[in-house]
Every structure is written in structure tokens, then in C-alpha cells.
Structure 1
Amino acid sequence: MSKSGKTNKRRNNGVRKFFKITGIVFLLLFVISILFPVIYKWVNPPVTPLMLIRKVDKGYSIEHEWRDLDRISPYMVQCAVSSEDNNFLGHNGFDYGAIEKAIEESESGKRRRGASTISQQTAKNVFLWPRSSWFRKGLEAYFTFLIEHIWSKERIMEVYLNVIEMGPGIYGAEAAAQHYYHTDAAHLTQQQSALITACYPAPLHRDPSRPTSYLKKRAAQIIHNARCIGKIDFEEETIKKARQRYEAREEMRRAKKKKRQ
């Protein structure tokens, strides 16, 4: 074999080896990405990337005590759905109507409306970092798909209310209840739950125990909407009916959109 032939063979072997190693790395990452959602179906996440990032970047301590959902005030569940995701029980992780509305408002120059569901926020809070990018958004969609298919809606809500940032170094309903109101998560009132929830968009700059006029107004809106929604439960029949209602609304939305076109 000529010298050039040997060189080409080595080069081809090197290329094949590179693609083989790359394939193995991606396979391992894929397996790990599924493994953690499966583990967290039963095991409570001990810490999240955001907790560690805040500790390193800002020096915050970590106030965090896990509570099962039955030890968290139902008002917290109700206010979370009222404020963040009215269609939580009905959608599959993505509220397409809310996404479309957010895009339309953004294009028309109106104030941008948040369209992230509780499922998306949970996926971001548990597995990813806070800084937004298209890459992170893609991963967020991927992990949202995973937890919607691996976890129950009840588990998603339980994890959400235990890891969400509720103040500087404060994570979850129990830590927030103790820090702001010197009580436990099970005994939070509707007003307290609404004020905590009203702080979600900017928890580092708002204090539910010393609410501004804006926070009071926002809390009142959350309570009004919560009363319209009613009690939240996670029975199979309730979720089935919620999905049917959501699908019916989506069909109507698509039909109206088609007519406009």
C-alpha cells in the first residue's frame, strides 16, 4: 500500500472513531436526560440548578423544606393555577392558545404576555438554568414533554410548589410560609397564597409580607380568578373532563384562525 493510501486509511479510521465516540456521548446524554425524570417521579429533587446558581452568583443561602402536596394549602394550588396556568389540568404541557396570543401581542408591540405553563416552569426549574436562549427553550420543551408523559399532573404540581423561587434564597411553599408569615405551608390563607403567587414574575424584588398597591391588586385578581376556577383536584375523571374542555376550545380556536386566513 502506498504512503498516501495509508494516510487516507488512518484519516478514515479517525473520522469513524470520532463519530462513534460522538454517538456514544449523545446516547449517554439521552439516557441520562430520561433517567432523572424517571427517578424524580418518586424521589424528591434535593436541589435544583437555580438554587446553586443563586448561591454562587449572589451568595444566597438555600431556604428549602420539601412538603408533600397534601401538606400544602389547597389555596396555593388554586392560586398557582389561577395566576400561572388556567388550563393546567387540560393541556399536555403546552398551552397553544396562550402561545399564539403571546406571539400576536409581541408582534403588535403590546406588552408581552407570559405563555409558559406550570409544566414548562417545572421543567425549567428542576433541570435547567434561568438565562433564556433558544437552546434552553428547546431543552425546556423536551423536558416538559418528558415530565408530562412520566409524571402525573399531581406530581408536577407538587414539584412545582416545592422548587419554585419565592424570594432571595427562598424555594417552595414551606420556606415561603415560614419566612414571610411564620406559619407552615398547610396553614397559608387564601390572601397569603395569592400574595406569594403574585410575586412569581419577580420574586427577588417583591415581598408578599409587605405588599405594594400593585401586589395587592394583583392578589385580588388572582383570588377572583381562583374563585371562578373553583377547587382543584387531581382525580382521573376531573382531568379527563378538563382535557375534553381544553381540546374543544382548541378546536374552536383553530377553526376561527382558519376563517381569518
Structure 2
Amino acid sequence: MEENMSKLAIIGTGNMGYAMALAAEKKMSPDDICVADPLKEKVMGYATEFGCRCTTDNTEAAAFGKYVIVAVKVFILPGVLEQIRPVLEEALERGEEKVLIPIAAGVSIEKIKEILGEKLKNIPIVRVLPTVYAYLGCGLMSCSVADEDSRAEFEVLKDMLSEAGTFELMPENMIDLASTASGCTPAFTAMFIEAMADGMVMMGMPRTQAVDYVARGVYGGAALVLEKSRHPGEIKDAVCSPGGSTIVGVNTLEINGFRGAAMEAIHQAALKVLGKRD
């Protein structure tokens, strides 16, 4: 990345913060990245792995970067925004540009602006909801922006963190649904892989091979959808030979409510994100 590219601050060292740091260090100088977390042992791990600047002071990180990613738990987010607000206000008074990138499901841009207050009502905000597999470079980052200025900053951010995967800009009323679809699926799929592997273990296959073979099958099916644009139903029909083992297994899944359970799982997860269930 060009030497004059703006500096990046990442507040929070969980899965999402790590994925963003991993993507950033592939295109930026470590000197242009600052990671913050109250726990010293966590940030020291980042310093060792990435060679970037690290601090236990969130305000120091916010002062350092033009682009400030806040990747903390939803219930912590308001407190962190309150903490760094004076730093952002002082930067604004000096004419220094800041762009806020909150990573928090269910917290709207309007709510974030409400927390930040009147002085920061025009700060560019790019709301990003990454997936846990972003650290593999194949994540989906669901994004929404506050205004046209924020849209321009989105393009810069997309380039800065492109090694994390695909950045999709969408209306804010879709971002939480998109994040639910892409973000919850790994957990559901992992349960499916584990259950299928258990079935093969029951038939005498060693567990290591059972997990590997089932996971490869899931990966292959996903690749056909993503890379070859095959419809899931088309893939299922192609594998199901008349009178064969696969159609017998499909029938068993249907009898036991597999499709309905999957639909209801993602439905309930989406309702939770949208605040429509406890």
C-alpha cells in the first residue's frame, strides 16, 4: 500500500479485531497499525505476531488512526464510544479527519451517532459486520454507510482490508440480516459436520477421517454454489441417483425435520439480532 495511506487503529482483540489486523498487515506497514485492548497480554501477542504498535489505552489508539475500528462486544460498545469521543472531538476541532468503523450487530448508525453526540454528527461512519472466517481471507463483510462522505471512505477501507475477503455495501436495513446469514452459518454447518462424522464413527470410521471427509463434502458443495453458480437444489438432485444411498439419506433428513429446523434456526437468529426476541 502507498506510503501516504492513512493509519489504522483497531480497538478490541477478539476474533473480528484479529481478522481485521491480519488483513491490514498484509497491505500496510506495521508502523501504520495500532491495536488496543485493556489486557496487556493480548496486545503483546499482536505486537509479537504483527510487529504493530500496541496499547492498553483506547484513547491512544483513537488518536493514532484516521480509520478507527471498534471491534468490541455490543454491550461494551457504548462505553468505548464514550471513552474515545473526546479524542474524536479534539481531532475535529483541529481539522483532522477521522472515520469510525464500528463492528457490532444490532447497533444502528443512528444509535452510534446518538452516543457520539451533536459535535460528531457528521463524522464519517462505515458500519461493518465481518464473518469469523474473514481471517482466512474469504469472509463476507456486510457494510453500510452514514452518508456520501462515508461512502467514499468505504472504498478506501475496502482496499485497505481487501485481504479479509469480500466487502458488500448495502442498505442498513439489510446489514444485520446479511450478517446473520453469513455469520451464523459456520456454527450451524459445524454442528452438521460433527453430526455426520458421528454417524460415520458409529459405522466404524476413525473420527479424524470422518470429520475430514464430511468437511470436504460440505466444502465441495459450497464451492459449486459460489464458483459455478449451481443452485443448491440442482446439486442435491445431481447427487441423488434413483434408488441410491443419497436419496435414502435425504428422505431420512426430511422425515426428521432437517429443512424446517434449519429454516427456523436462521429465522430465530435473525429475530434475535433485530431485537425481536429475548
Q: What is the TM-score with the length of structure 2 in the denominator?
A: 0.25
Which structure is higher in RCO with an 8 Å CA cutoff and minimum separation 6?
1
Name the structure where helix makes up a greater proportion of residues. 1
Q: What is the TM-score with the length of structure 1 in the denominator?
A: 0.26
